[in-house]
Structures are given as C-alpha cells and as structure tokens.
Amino acid sequence: MFFDISSRYGKKMEMIEMALNANVIRRDVIADNIANADTPFFKRSEVTFESQLQRAVESEKEPEFPALLTDKRHIPFNDIIDYRSVRPRVQVEYDSISKNDKNNVDIDKEMIDATKNSLQYNALIESYSRNLKILDIMMR
C-alpha cells in the first residue's frame, strides 16, 4: 500500500509542533501566574489551544448534512478552518476572586497545571520522536 508521506505524516508532525509551541507558551503563563500568586489585584491567565485545534480538524470532515447553497447570500453550515491558522491564545481570567486582595491565583491549581503541562510536553516529544523513527524507516 502506498500513501503520501507529505499529507499523512506532514500534517501530524506539524500539529505536534504546534502543540509543543502551545505548551511552551502555557509553561511561561503558568510560571507568571505562580510568580504573581501574592501580588494584589493580579489576575491569572490561561492558554487555550487544543479545543481550537480540535474544532479546526473537525471542520475538515465532510458534514453529516451538507447545505445546499443556491444563493450567494446563503450561509454555509460548515466553514472549513485551516488548522495551520490556529494559534495559542492567552486569556486573562477576570471573573473570579479567590483571595481578599482580589488576586485569583490558586497555587495548588497552578502546580497541577504545571505538572499536567510537563507530562503533555513529554508525551508530545515522545510522539514526535516516534514519528521521526517511522519516517526514517519508510525512507530506507
């Protein structure tokens, strides 16, 4: 069976690289949150990426009920989102307060998020490495 390396593995490797970049940004945001845990009026931030990437990938699938567009004013049900356009977004959480000084950083949550981010980063690196080995075997 022959398959196109550029489409199958290229997209997968590109998405892993994007996720790794998001994890690096998330690590910096978590570190900033932890560093400012005792700063009055500081608002914690979070990085969103995975849900946006998932939505982009799902938008590429054939819709279950395709829309019949008979007029240029019709709005399509399924706009395809290019996965390469997805970027990590840093969002500040303004609506919660966990301390009297109006700071909303929960150090326990940040430490859990840091551990989770680290584990995810290691898993992504492992996956990237495994895919490089597969690619190397296929090229021989």
In a domain, 125, yes or no: yes
Residue 110 near residue 37, CB atoms below 8 Å: yes
What's the domain range around 132? 19-36+102-140
**Confidence band of 1 (pLDDT split at 50, 70, 90):** very low
Q: What are phi and psi of 47, to 5 degrees?
A: -105, 130
In a domain, 54, yes or no: no
The pLDDT of residue 3? 44
Distance CA 96, CA 99 (A): 10
* Total domains present in the chain: 1
The pLDDT of residue 6? 57
The residue type at 86: V
Enter the pTM of the model. 0.82
Residues in the chain: 140
Q: Is the pLDDT of residue 30 over 60?
A: yes
In a domain, 111, yes or no: yes
